[in-house]
Amino acid sequence: MSSGTKNAVFGNVTILIVLLSGCSTASGLLVADVYRTEGAWVVVIEGLGATVRTLADDAGLTLGYERRIYVYPETSDDLPSEGRHHWSVRLPKKPALARNTRTIGLDVRTSGVDLGITLGYRDASLLAHVPLGESIYMRLSFLPDDARTTRLTYCPEEDPCWPIDIPDNTSVPH
């Protein structure tokens, strides 16, 4: 293979990666659904190809398929508009209260919260991401396979949050 052919192949592969890239804060090949649920906003992002994440608490790169779900309190002020977003979605600067990640392919995580590399399948959840020095009481019902049923309640103290009632109409067995 000649030098010119190698350069052409490299250039085409580079263009393909750029065209098939997604980014949670810029452009790319992704679909995001934003739902308002009881007490929370839920953002479900599905990306294919090269997906770049630039959030401080969820930075990294995925080559392959990924599905990420972020749960934010309903009081968050810089959320994307409710509905479906194509190609890009701008997420809040504040960390999500809860997060679920499913990836197939190469997943590189570079944040201080989650650091590592996975090749293959990964399914991980981070629940109750509470900033250092803060203390909160909350009740969170979060089923990644049924994100629309997410419910979040902040409580002034521990007692009013318990017990947690799991609704009978959820699609996941108890």
Q: Name beta bridge partners: 102.
A: 67, 123
Please give the distance of CA 144 from its chain centroid, rounded to a whole number: 11
Please give the angle made by the CA atoms of 76, 81 and 84, to the nearest 5 degrees. 130
Looking at residue 77, its pLDDT comes to 80
Looking at residue 101, its pLDDT comes to 92
Tokens at 88, concatenated: 């890009």
For residue range 118-167, what is the model confidence (pLDDT) as tens digits? 899 999 888 877 767 777 777 788 888 888 888 888 776 656 666 656 56
Domain ranges in the chain are 23-154
Looking at residue 165, its pLDDT comes to 62
Amino acid at 140: L
Q: Which residues of the chain have pLDDT under 50?
A: 18-27, 173-174
Task: Please state the length of the chain.
Answer: 174
Contact criterion met (CB below 8 Å) for 88 and 30: yes
Looking at residue 157, its pLDDT comes to 65
Looking at residue 87, its pLDDT comes to 78
Tokens at 24, concatenated: 């949670």
Looking at residue 25, its pLDDT comes to 43
- Nearest-angstrom CA–CA distance, 87 and 19: 11
- Nearest-angstrom CA–CA distance, 71 and 36: 10
User: Is the overall model pTM greater than 0.75, yes or no?
Assistant: no
